Amino acid sequence: MLVQLRAEPDDDVRTALDLYAWLRGDPDVRAHAEVGIGPSEPGGETMGAAEVVNLVVGQTFAALNLALAYASWRQARPAAPAVTLTVDGRSLTVEGASQETLRQIVELLGEPRTDGTQTPPADGPRDPGGPRPHGDGTPGPG
């Protein structure tokens, strides 16, 4: 499965490169995923303002591993811009490292929720550091 991580435009390249280096340095990620970086547009040849971190993960790579690696990176860089994860055409933009954010990442990657509940409605309370809505106002994949 291909997971793409893209930083918000205000500091895109530096943030993408930093996240790439962080993930490459994480032993769990290194052991179970191929980590690369490239242009966000297919066929793009130069490093530009919209670089994307690509993770090719196998069945043994748990969604929780990526969520925890992201949380560690975010806690070390609390002022970093939002990051958008894209899997199979579904996207999620995250800004913090709250439990809700980690739950949303795990859910995006296809892991079932352990508490048996559904994603909260768009008009319900949200963690300010949690996922931001996409297009239609829903907090999850949009």
Q: Which residues pair with 34 in a beta bridge?
A: 56
| pLDDT value, residue 124 | 34
Domains of the chain with bracketed CATH:
2-108 (3.30.70)
- Alpha helices (H) in 26-81, listed in sequence order: 27-32, 63-76
| pLDDT value, residue 135 | 44
| pLDDT value, residue 58 | 76
CB 80 within 8 A of CB 74: yes
Q: Over the chain (142 residues), what is each successive 10-residue block's mean pLDDT?
A: 82 78 92 87 52 82 87 92 92 94 91 45 39 47 41
| pLDDT value, residue 13 | 63
Buried b (16+ CB within 10 A) or exposed e, 6-38: bbeeeebeebbebbbebbeebeebeebbebebb
| pLDDT value, residue 123 | 32
| pLDDT value, residue 70 | 94
